[in-house]
A and B are shown apart, each in its own frame.
Chain A
């Protein structure tokens, strides 16, 4: 564990996906932990929770959201946060993360991770909202660097400078997605090494790796296919600066059988030296996860 928040090193984890429910409930494989997309288990009282409850009983869970809309100029959605908090309590999730982005405005939701301008105004605005969210949840959150496809002409700092200042001002953590760094570096023409040079690694409590789709003119963060070697190399570099950070593979399109996704995630042992999962009583129901 290297992060200043004391979030534990869970080893190598996987994103929990519906197509794998059957395999998981039949085989209970040795996986360090699962990350859930929070919204897939909110505003539902039925089948999604039927599966999640069983999985959360046996594996550590962390929550990764896509709708906090932390950078939006709409009011903070307290109803959403209440649902988020309830889900955290239900799953005993070890931490909650979302993205440095906004998803909508004027009451409309695009369900996309829309880019922020990196300005002083946006920095103050977002930091204030992160503090409000953390006060409500009673714990620090992690914000992920998103993939982006545009840059704003009015930005006055780099993304990594923005993130470093934001996490400092709001005293929040960072979910470092090295695939997103690779994607955005291609799309915007910056040096990934410069990005890593500006990351406050003592605030990095989790990392993501994923596949993507290169369209020639730009790269789309599709979470498809295996992770390419340059992304693993970036992960190796990042992990070297924050050893003991929980690492997770995201695979969201054309998802193969569980064993294939798991095998891809375990490449982390070779590429970044991340250890294999500690098998936290994977076959036995476990008690509520300890709060960080």
Chain B
């Protein structure tokens, strides 16, 4: 698989970079975290999971209990849990998980011996019952990733996205009691896992993950516009700005924010051609915002958020020829917008 296929039809729209520079656009994923974590069991069989398919390799899948059953294995709790988890989490499905566990010196249970650990029901063989957990494991985590990356899911199409998620789950199994950060490796995974890499997908993923990060970031103090009026004129050049915890600035090889906005407003975007773009993602109260940046805006904002004083940041921009004459007249407008939107926690003039 190369770049995401255009899941939209011929009616899809083309998006371009730089169409709405400096304009804050409201909203992250629509109804973010609709599929929040719950105690329910997902009733979804991932199309690419092999858990169910491999059940046919079980010696008996009719679901009817044997008349003569071998005695149960006496398995210590810890060994039982390792065996069960290996089966449920195995990317190839529960049957492969059981075989591999046995092959690597784990619980010596072959597929033929599964009923010595798990009882069949009147309708399902033991391994079919176990596969319910294998399917649910993958379905829950795919749902979690779809929750974090709805635009990527749209761009790739359901099947390709699910296949990507299953590979991700196999590579990055959860090691936390919490799923909030489970999807954090996806942008890097998109870049590294595919040949050729999913460049657009990686860009889009980085934007969507920034929204997740900003959503969970703590609200910090906010530099108020009124504070700026108290700064003496001779202090401005040396002024530094502490970044807010609820802002992220990203640079992309594609106009992903324009794509995301079109997706979010149901305008069926097509995968755009490569073009430089940069976006600030920020939260104000409960609302997530996205603002595209021009090159000069991006360079200046990155410098300020990185701790460079205002004077040297502007000088560097001018020296690099990155600031046009027209843009030079707009710098204070940009700056006041950034302050008003809470990009900075405070100003330091000492």
Contacts and interface: CB of A to CB of B under 8 A. Distances in A.
Chain B's interface size range is 35 or more
Nearest to A84: B177
Count chain B CB atoms within 10 A of each CB in A111, A152, A221, A250 and give the residue with the most: A111
Interface string B210-233: 000011111100000000000000
Contact of A19 (B31, B43, B75, B218): B31
Contact of A17 (B36, B74, B119): B36
B77 A150 contact: no
B175 A154 contact: no
B210 to A, nearest CB: 13
A221 B38 CA distance: 11
Interface of A: 15, 17-19, 37, 39-40, 42-48, 50-51, 64, 66-69, 72-73, 77, 80, 99, 102-114, 117, 119, 121-122, 125, 144, 146-147, 149-154, 187-189, 210, 213, 215-218, 220-224, 250, 252-253, 255
A152 B89 contact: no
B156 interface: no
B295 interface: no
A220 B82 contact: no
A114 B85 CA distance: 9
A37 B85 contact: no
Contact of B39 (A50, A77, A109, A250): A250
B41 A66 contact: no
Interface of B: 31-34, 36-43, 63, 72-78, 80-82, 84-85, 88-89, 115-119, 121-124, 126, 128-130, 132-133, 136-137, 140-141, 144, 173-181, 214-219, 246, 283, 285-286
A83 B286 CA distance: 22
A67 B85 CA distance: 15
Nearest to B42: A222
Given A45-B218, A111-B179, A149 B132 contact: yes
Given A46-B215, A67-B177, A153-B115, A223 B31 contact: no
A119 to B, nearest CB: 7
B217 A45 contact: yes
A218 B120 CA distance: 12
Contact of B117 (A48, A113, A154): A154
Count chain B CB atoms within 10 A of each CB in A47, A99, A114, A213 and give the residue with the most: A47
A222 B44 CA distance: 10
A188 B122 CA distance: 8
Given A105-B78, A110-B89, A154-B117, 19 more contacts: A15-B38, A17-B36, A40-B36, A43-B181, A48-B215, A50-B219, A66-B39, A67-B178, A105-B85, A106-B85, A109-B174, A112-B41, A117-B77, A153-B73, A153-B119, A216-B123, A217-B123, A218-B124, A223-B39
Contact of A149 (B133, B283, B286): B133
29 contacts: A19-B31, A37-B37, A37-B39, A42-B177, A42-B178, A43-B216, A44-B216, A46-B219, A47-B32, A47-B283, A73-B81, A80-B177, A109-B177, A110-B89, A110-B174, A111-B174, A112-B88, A112-B133, A112-B137, A114-B81, A114-B85, A114-B88, A121-B76, A150-B133, A153-B119, A154-B80, A154-B117, A217-B121, A220-B132
Given A72-B81, A218-B123, A40 B37 contact: yes
Contacts of B180: 42-44
A218 B132 contact: yes
Contacts of B32: 18, 47
A46 B218 CA distance: 5
B95 to A, nearest CB: 15
A223 B177 contact: no
B40 A221 contact: yes
A18 B36 CA distance: 8
A39 B182 CA distance: 13
A17 B144 CA distance: 15
Contacts of A188: 121
Contact of B121 (A77, A114, A122, A187): A187
A47 B136 CA distance: 28
Contacts of A15: 38
Contacts of A218: 121, 123-124, 129, 132
Given A121-B76, A222-B41, A106 B82 contact: yes
Nearest to B78: A73
A64 B297 CA distance: 46
Nearest to A222: B43
